[in-house]
Structures are given as C-alpha cells and as structure tokens.
Amino acid sequence: DAGVTQSPTHLIKTRGQQVTLRCSPISGHKSVSWYQQVLGQGPQFIFQYYEKEERGRGNFPDRFSARQFPNYSSELNVNALLLGDSALYLCASSSGIYTTQYFGPGTRLLVL
C-alpha cells in the first residue's frame, strides 16, 4: 500500500509570494495533520483536519490556511511568504482523529 504522498518535493519562492502544498493520505485514512519543521528543530503542529473539518490549529498566523477534500487529500496554503517560512512541511495521516499519525516525506520550502 502507498504511504502518505506529498507534492512538490522541493519548492523555491520569494518573499511575499503564495504557496500551495499538497498531501494525499494513506488509503482509508480520514485525518490529515500538517507540521512545520524548521532546520535543526522538531516539527511544530499547524493544523489537523478530519472529515473535511478543521479539528485543531497550532500557534501559526492567519497567513497559514488549509483544507481537506472529499477524497481526504489536503492542501496547505501559505500567503505573503516570509524568510522564516523556509522549512520542511510534513503531512501526517491517521485513520481517525486520535489514532497514530504516519508521516509523508515532506515538502522542502525555501523562501528567498
């Protein structure tokens, strides 16, 4: 079975631009969570979605938004990019809200 997939794998943007990252969960999983991992640090929780509804939001500005589609895939959008948004963005899927999270390979975003 395929694991969590994310696209693109790498992305370079300039300050002020907008970016959309995509995630496809493991088949049968209905929950997707997003994490930001800045170089040298542990991942930080951004969002959790379950059945297309937001179930949790971390301490991130409103420039960060996400949504989940009927097929349970998800997009993370970041507007008005800052240099500090450069990070590895990880998507995790789980079968339910409170079940084990399995991570994808991540999208590495570089903001210049």
Stretch that binds another protein, among 19-27, 48-56, 62-70, 77-85 (CB under 8 A): 48-56
Per the listing, tokens 């209905």 go with: 30
Structure tokens at 62: 């409103």
- Residues in the interface with another protein (CB under 8 A) total 25
Stretch that binds another protein, among 14-22, 49-57, 63-71, 78-86 (CB under 8 A): 49-57
**Contacting residue, 19, 32, 85, 106, with another protein by CB under 8 A:** 106
Give the list of residues 6+ apart from residue 61 with CB closer than 8 angstroms, or none: none
Q: Is 23 in the site for another protein (CB under 8 A)?
A: no
Question: Cα–Cα distance between 32 and 6 in angstroms, integer?
Answer: 12
Contacts (CB under 8 A) with another protein, residues 55-94: 55-56, 58, 90, 92
Least CB distance to another protein at residue 57 (A):
9
Nearest to 58 by CA among 49, 50, 71: 49
**Contacting residue, 4, 66, 87, 111, with another protein by CB under 8 A:** 4
Per the listing, tokens 């009927």 go with: 70
CA distance readout (Å), 111 to 12, 48, 70: 6, 24, 31
